Amino acid sequence: MPASKIISLLPAATEIVCALGLQENLVGRSHECDYPEGVQQLPVCSEANFSDGMTSAQIDVKVKEILADALSVYTVKRDVIKALSPDVVITQAQCEVCAVSLTEVEQALDNYLEKPTRIISLQPNSLEDIFGDIQTVANALNITGAGERLVEDLTERVDIIRHKLKFMENKPTVACIEWLEPMMISGNWVPELVAIAGGMAVLAQAGKHSPYIDWAGIRAQDPDIILLMPCGFSIERTMREIYILIQQDGFNELKAVQNNRIYIADGNQYFNRPGPRIVDSVEILAEIIHPKQFIFGYEGNGWIKFSL
């Protein structure tokens, strides 16, 4: 039988649990878990230690200040978790900035809960790791078969794109921007997703953390496509800071600008969440990179084209 009470402190893990058919077993969530919509009614078990409405630059400064003082970017609500009495708590060890970390959960709950509770920690760096994490969660919740079926379904969707692009020789270069100020290029699984969708990611390596990059690096690469997908930002939120990109020296001379190939994607809901909708992210990339070959229906919601 699956564990009866699950708390997820990671949006991607919440989506994994729900996709595995165990949404009713969720008793608590993180402050960032918002999909599927029904989970928003669950008790919130964490909070961020900085305010909403800050700019990219302000968020970067605040996070670095917090970490420099050996503090946590997030607070785990121990009393809420204790009251919910979970059998399983799911968190992550991939990024101390992106979500509540394994260390924070262990420190918060050490000798605090009144019954044995299993902590599952996810740490994906590639598409294979994400699928592996789905199976890890399924195994831990005693629904191995459901995990196998979900991974098989997701893999089939990826393979459809791979097959359609098998003989495609035109592979545009793509700069995926994960943060605007200071500027960062998306690493980890994103370069791999770009490759599956028929492009070539620039300035970042698959499986490696997202690097900081100066604007001169982007100008030197002069990519065919620029895709903005800031971590934790919706399309609307990114639009409020698009001026950071526009005001860069030589912006108007870039090929991507000249050819009207600047795009904004919902990084918060898709690319930054290593769960089932990472395959939606591949489909979004396929629509953007090869629009004549793919129409999945994400335009206007998952991504938009930006024009000056």
Residue 153, in any domain of the structure: no
Residue 251, in any domain of the structure: yes
Contact 281, 270 (CB under 8 A): yes
Cβ-Cβ contacts under 8 Å for 232 (sequence gap 6 or more):
32, 98, 267, 268, 272
Residue 261, in any domain of the structure: yes
Q: Are 295 and 192 contained in the same domain? A: yes
If you average pLDDT over residues 165-193, what whole number do you get?
Answer: 94
If you average pLDDT over residues 165-186, what whole number do you get?
Answer: 94
Q: Are 289 and 174 contained in the same domain? A: yes
Of 123, 154, 185, the one marking the end of a domain is 123
How many percent of the chain have pLDDT more than 70? 88
| Least confident interval from 70-74, 169-173, 191-195, 261-265 | 70-74
3-12, 60-69, 104-113, 198-207: which is most confident: 198-207
pLDDT at 153: 98
Residue 232, in any domain of the structure: yes
pLDDT at 78: 85
pLDDT over threshold 70, residue 100: no
| Least confident interval from 21-25, 27-31, 66-70 | 66-70
The residue with tokens 């005001």 is 247
Residue 155, in any domain of the structure: no
Q: Are 114 and 177 contained in the same domain? A: no
Of 62, 88, 123, the one marking the end of a domain is 123
Residue 140, in any domain of the structure: no
pLDDT over threshold 80, residue 19: yes
pLDDT (tens digit, 9 = 90+) per residue, 119-143? 888 889 999 999 999 999 999 999 9
Tokens of 103: 């260390």
Q: Look up the CATH number of the domain holding residue 210.
A: 3.40.50.1980
Comparing 1 with 148, the larger pLDDT belongs to 148
Q: How many domains are there within the chain?
A: 2
Comparing 55 with 1, the larger pLDDT belongs to 55
Tokens of 282: 């591949």
C-alpha distances in Å from residue 272, one per residue of 5, 48, 94, 186, 220: 26, 17, 12, 9, 26
Band of residue 253 on the pLDDT scale cut at 50, 70, 90: very high
pLDDT at 51: 66
pLDDT at 70: 45
Residue 116, in any domain of the structure: yes
What residue numbers bound the domain in which 250 lies?
Answer: 169-299
Contact 226, 261 (CB under 8 A): yes
Band of residue 71 on the pLDDT scale cut at 50, 70, 90: very low
Residue 146, in any domain of the structure: no
pLDDT at 101: 57
